[in-house]
Amino acid sequence: MEGSPPQLHVPPPPALPGYAKHLSTVVGGFYALHHFFQLQMVWVVLLSLLCYLVLFLCRHSAHRGVFLSITILIYLLMGEMHMVDTVTWHKMRGAQMIVAMKAVSLGFDLDRGELPAVPSPVEFMGYIYFVGTAIFGPWSRFRSYLQAVESRALSLPWLRKVSRSLLLSIICLLVSTCVAPYLFSYFIPLYGYRQLRKRKRKARWLRAYESAISFHFSSYFVGFLSEATATLAGAGFTEEKDNLKWDLTVSRPLNVELPRSMVEVVTSWNLPMSSWLNSYVFKNSLQLGTFSAVIVTYAASALLHGLSFHLAAVLLSLGFITYVEHVLRKRLSVIFDACLLSKRCPPGCPHRHNTNLWVRLLNLLFGVLAVFHLAYLGSLFDIDADDTVEEQGYSMSYTIYKWSELSWASHWVTFGCWVFYRLIG
């Protein structure tokens, strides 16, 4: 620039060719993966190569989604069967889950004709290793990846969104590590720290709640962090006409901590994940019947999370709990003609009773029941558990021990609700 006359108009730099952009996201993703997993990242790379191979081989088939799902299923099962050592596998689980979700969604989107053609290898790898979502997620569609690569101008709302997410993630990390484990001994001093660890019944429930809160906030931390990384990388916006909104939301902590229903909890836990499960598993398996579809969905989720016994137990229990809650509340809302459904009623809802005190009280009761279920389920993720246990996943005996300590209360309550539902039906 030196010596040249001052220019009033700087021409825009020539646009990068598409493949260069995809390649750069691959490089960024590889760097991030290597930073977090070092050489263990080969397992993720292997999975992605396998996926593209299958996609390429079945490029003329109409069931690419199914083939990809089966490939991933076999790969994950082999990994779970101790093909890889447990600690490594457990560490890679999150990244693998993202790859699996992206590949399966791509396959089904192609089958449904939502995407015109099988993406080129560079595009595919760029999508899989997109630097903003490779480590912590969240899952995003291929279409939104393409939009992100097209790139939008960085603006003040973008910066605001990133800093908000980062700040919230740090706060959640702090709560998870430093506040939740001492919630009932220091922050709300109901019991002494040691008393809480004695095996008294009431203390056990308080401990379970502490563990659950700690686990929840750890998950929100990852959620907000993934929001931040994805937004930083230029993804996670919606466009309405000319209005660009950076509104990626991964989890809604308030809906989980102060829930209306368990259904609300499981959707607010990880919104992209639940939308993925909804559109690629639940809708595809609806032909089996609602209950079977619910169970298949939770089974798929358990498989994606790694086939550890405790996660499968939690997710299947969640399946039963949400199903029973859903049908019971539906029946009650019909009987009383009131807004008692698992989901919040829209403003102009057809029920007669909407804002009465007893309706609110009943909803509150279901909310309290949801908190009770959450404490019960969360008790498994004990903060005092051994580090090796946490790194390798919890075993079956541990799950059974923890739940029998709480006398299987949540399962009994769910069973009771189901019996009640059959009685009034």
Partner 1 sequence: MRPVALIVGFKTLWVLAFSSLSNTLAVNNSGRWWGIINVASSTNLLTDSKNVQLVLDPSLQLLSRRQRKLIRQNPGVLHSVSSGLQSAIQECKWQFRNRRWNCPTTQGPHIFGKIVNRGEAAGGSRRGQGSERGRPAVIVAKRRGKLSANRAGPVLQTVFSEMRQECKCHGMSGSCTVKTCWMRLPTFRTVGDFLKDRFDGASRVIYGNKGSNRASRVEGPHLEPENPAHKPPSLHDLVYFEKSPNFCTYSGKTGMAGTAGRFCNSSSPALDGCELLCCGRGYRTRTQRVTERCNCTFHWCCHVSCLNCTNTQVLHECL
Q: What angle do CA 215, 220, 224 make, to 5 degrees?
A: 155
3 state SS for 304-352: HCCCCHHHHHHHHHHHHHHHHHHHHHHHHHHHHCECCCCCCCCCCCCCC
* 234 neighbors 144 (Cβ within 8 angstroms): no
90 in contact with partner 1 (CB under 8 A)? yes
140 in contact with partner 1 (CB under 8 A)? no
Q: What angle do CA 261, 323, 220 make, to 5 degrees?
A: 45
Q: Which amino acid is at 193?
A: Y
137 in contact with partner 1 (CB under 8 A)? yes
Q: Of 8-16, 53-61, 107-115, 175-183, which segment contacts partner 1 by CB under 8 A?
A: 175-183
**Identified catalytic residue from 22, 216, 305, 373:** 305
Among 32, 44, 47, 98, binds partner 1 (CB under 8 A): 98
User: Closest by alpha carbon to 377, among 304, 315, 305?
Assistant: 315
User: Given the complex with partner 1, which of 142 and 221 has the nearer CB atom?
Assistant: 221
User: Closest by alpha carbon to 231, among 217, 246, 242?
Assistant: 246
Q: Is 60 a catalytic residue?
A: no
150 in contact with partner 1 (CB under 8 A)? no
User: Closest by alpha carbon to 259, among 171, 365, 361, 414?
Assistant: 365
* 288 neighbors 273 (Cβ within 8 angstroms): no
* Binding positions for partner 1, 386-415, rule CB under 8 A: 387, 390-391
Taking the complex as a whole, the smallest distance from the CB of residue 33 to partner 1 amounts, in Å, to 11
Instruction: Measure the CA–CA gap between 15 and 240, rounded to whole angstroms.
Output: 24
Interface mask toward partner 1 for 68-87; x: CB under 8 A: -------------------x
Among 41, 162, 208, 222, binds partner 1 (CB under 8 A): 222
129 in contact with partner 1 (CB under 8 A)? no
Among 44, 306, 312, 329, binds partner 1 (CB under 8 A): 306
* 212 neighbors 381 (Cβ within 8 angstroms): yes
234 in contact with partner 1 (CB under 8 A)? no
* Total chain residues near partner 1 (CB under 8 A): 38
Taking the complex as a whole, the smallest distance from the CB of residue 42 to partner 1 amounts, in Å, to 16
Interface mask toward partner 1 for 344-383; x: CB under 8 A: -------------------------------------x-x
**DSSP code string of 288-308:** G-HHHHHHHHHHHHHHHT---
Which residues are designated catalytic? 305
State the residues that interact with partner 1 by CB under 8 A. Answer: 36, 87, 90-95, 97-98, 135-137, 173, 176-177, 181-182, 185-186, 193-194, 197, 214-215, 218-219, 221-222, 270, 305-306, 311, 381, 383, 387, 390-391
